[in-house]
Chains A and B, each alone.
Chain A
Amino acid sequence: MALKRRLTDWRNRLVSSAFIFRHNRAGVIGLVIVLFFISMAIFAPFIAPFNPYERIDRSLLPPGGVYLLGTNDMGQDIFSELIWGARVSLSIGFTVALVVMFIGTTVGVVAGYTGGLVDEVLMRFADIILVLPSIPLMILIAAIMGRHNFYVMILALSVVGWGGLARMVRAVTLSLKERTFVEAARALGASGGHIMAKHILPNTAPLILSSVIYQAVGAMMAEAGLAFLGLGDPTAKSWGMMLHYAQTAGGWWGANGNPMWNWIIPPGLCIALVVLGLMLVGQAVEEIVNPRLRRRR
């Protein structure tokens, strides 16, 4: 009985949140964009007409005909590359966001609730992460740990990202732990771990949600940047990687001295669109979480 009731609770909350969300037109547009790219990533093998890692024709063919966006310098289908690229870009973005969320909230809640020396040490780490310029740091990590690896990429991006979230979660924790219901839990005999898990964490969740969406945005942009600089994993083609090859393998000059817009524009546009979509969703979520941002209607 209890479980069933809990499920309906969740459903009700979801429905009412969805109702607010629906009235945010920008948020809905953002969600449509994001969902479009997510389904593109999921169904890539069915949508893409060719294998993007296979040479299928002459190189640098113009768009049109069988190859919607032409072929690249290796004779691979650009349109298929683009569709498979959604997979790599999105999975890096979301994985990094999850890892950052995990590290950031854990560090923030533990530092804020425990206080004292633990707080000092953890926050100095966060400060170090925050003050180091992130791009060189990522390049350094990628270079040291082997630069052509998907997981190293995720690690580098995560290490750089958690500082801000940890600081924010800590701040919220500091105010939450002074609330009477936390003291009441201590009076019940609850341990520190129990209070952090049951009383602090759930109350930081709404805040974390919107910031995780922004984290995903940051991670995808950073991934594109790193890949463009040639630090990506060449066996996993992302949009940033496509731009990198376009840059290094002559996309700007093409076969006859003209820039190959069919090769350069699509990946850049995809990155811009996903980022835009996520930003719009993030803002809408923020509005749900923080009613003060909500416009009266």
Chain B
Amino acid sequence: MMEPLLEVRNLRKYFPVRGGFFRSLLSRRQMWVKAVDDVSFHVMPGEIFGLAGESGCGKTTTGKTILKLIEPTAGEVIFDGTEIFNLPPQELKPFRRRMQIIYQDPYESLNPRMNVFDIISEGIDIHELAGSTSEKEELVASALEMVELTPPEEFIFRYPHELSGGQRQRVCIARALVLNPEFIVADEPVSMLDVSIRASILKLMLKWKEESEISYLFITHDLAVARHMCDRIGIMYLGKIVEMGDIDRIIETPRHPYTQALMAAVPVPDPTAERTKVMITGEVPTPIEPPSGCRFHPRCPYAKEICKRETPGLVEVERDHVVACHQLEHSIHL
């Protein structure tokens, strides 16, 4: 049995809500946004683990908290056998090289006053990966070649405003890749790009997974992309994972009503195709005071009394497929 590269255990991130002055007079109680509430999963070496869900369900917060870019409230993250949340900054630094992140918005994630060379070589300088200037130039050039910004000398001295969105995203990826990481959090890396550019970037990510055994935490709201990319997936709703397991099993036989609703919302090219319809109504409730019991119960077509009272735990329904739902017998008939 292989050891997981990354293991997340009971991760929680609560953000304090700052009420107005008058509200603080009325009630003493501190309110919290439970952005990530008791999330556990693992990522195997060379695996792409997906996190999917609606906007605001805590996918991005989970990704950033794992890298300790946001201070966690509770829980632990074990990377290659070491718990990283309690490490002092100096000991965390080598893990920063091994765990990288690609952001969603390539227009925000590059410093407008640095050129491509400075952006990519920054990590090399921080971790002292190059012995000489020429070695550094070589590393930067090879990173640019990896993301197919060729010839490198044409891009190396450009500033972000001189690049297109797709090129910027490639620079962001090169900045992460130059450190030779083992694990990358990809936070919706293609959702802001043209469809034409998406495919080539996704293809590159898959190539590095095969060639360099890079593992990804792939955050997305697009189940079609998730199916193309991921080996396993977790479906998040209001800060909790409601269903998790092998991507094909979850896409083909989703068991949680929420996953089923998500699947029903994916457009199908054939207009005559028969579709199961699980319609959910309403909006995602605010995570400040999430519903009691199962957080999905106000929108769930199968909700019973127990769903309002008790929070369902993740139960294994088949090999590598866990679901958190009290009403599994309903969903199985779909």
Binding site for B on A (CB under 8 A): 2, 5, 9, 179-181, 183-191, 194, 198-199, 202-203
Contact = CB atoms under 8 A, between A and B. Distances in A.
Contacts of A203: 111-113
Given A179-B108, A180-B105, A188-B100, 19 more contacts: A2-B137, A9-B115, A9-B157, A180-B108, A184-B103, A184-B110, A184-B172, A187-B96, A187-B100, A189-B93, A189-B97, A189-B123, A189-B127, A191-B89, A194-B126, A198-B111, A198-B114, A202-B114, A203-B113
B326 interface: no
Interface in B45-73: 64, 67, 69
A283 B236 CA distance: 52
B6 interface: no
Contacts of B126: 188-190, 194
A198 B122 contact: yes
Residue in A184, A191, A203 with the greatest tally of chain B CB atoms within 10 Å: A184
Contacts of A9: 115, 157
B179 interface: yes
A190 B109 contact: no
Given A188-B175, A189-B97, A183 B111 contact: no
A198 B126 CA distance: 12
Given A2-B117, A9-B157, A180-B109, A187 B122 contact: no
Contacts of A191: 89
Contacts, number: 59
Contacts of A186: 69
A189 B122 CA distance: 10
B108 to A, nearest CB: 4
Contacts of B101: 184, 187
B125 to A, nearest CB: 9
Nearest to B117: A2
A194 B123 CA distance: 11
A184 B97 contact: no
A162 B111 CA distance: 27
B50 to A, nearest CB: 20
22 contacts: A2-B133, A2-B137, A9-B115, A179-B108, A180-B105, A180-B108, A180-B109, A183-B64, A184-B101, A187-B69, A188-B122, A188-B123, A188-B175, A189-B92, A189-B93, A189-B123, A198-B114, A198-B122, A202-B111, A202-B113, A202-B114, A203-B112
A179 B113 CA distance: 13
A270 to B, nearest CB: 38
A188 B109 CA distance: 12
Contacts of B111: 181, 185, 198-199, 202-203
B64 to A, nearest CB: 8
Nearest to A2: B117
A187 B67 contact: yes
Contacts of B137: 2
Interface of B: 64, 67, 69, 89, 92-93, 96-97, 100-101, 103, 105, 108-115, 117, 122-123, 126-127, 133, 137, 157, 172, 175, 179
A184 B93 contact: no
A189 B96 contact: yes
B275 to A, nearest CB: 38
A188 B175 CA distance: 9
A179 B69 CA distance: 13
A12 to B, nearest CB: 10
B115 A181 contact: no
Contacts of A184: 101, 103, 109-110, 172, 175
Contacts of A198: 111, 114, 122
A75 B159 CA distance: 61
Contacts of B97: 189
Contacts of B105: 180
Nearest to B67: A187
Given A188-B122, A190-B126, A5 B108 contact: no
A9 B117 CA distance: 13
A251 to B, nearest CB: 52
Contacts of A5: 157
A188 B99 CA distance: 9
B127 A181 contact: no
A183 B123 contact: no
Contacts of A199: 111
A183 B69 contact: yes
Nearest to A5: B157
Contacts of B69: 183, 186-187
List the 7 closest pairs (A to B, CB-CB), nearest first. Answer: A189-B96, A180-B108, A180-B109, A188-B123, A202-B113, A181-B111, A189-B93
Contacts of A189: 92-93, 96-97, 123, 126-127
Contacts of A2: 117, 133, 137
Residue in A5, A180, A190, A203 with the greatest tally of chain B CB atoms within 10 Å: A180
Contacts of A180: 103, 105, 108-109
Nearest to A194: B126
Contacts of B100: 187-188
Contacts of A179: 108
Contacts of B117: 2
A232 B235 CA distance: 73
Contacts of A194: 126
Residue in A181, A183, A194 with the greatest tally of chain B CB atoms within 10 Å: A181
Contacts of B133: 2
B168 to A, nearest CB: 11
A199 B113 CA distance: 8
Nearest to A188: B123
A9 B162 CA distance: 13
B122 A185 contact: yes
A184 B106 CA distance: 11
A181 B157 CA distance: 18
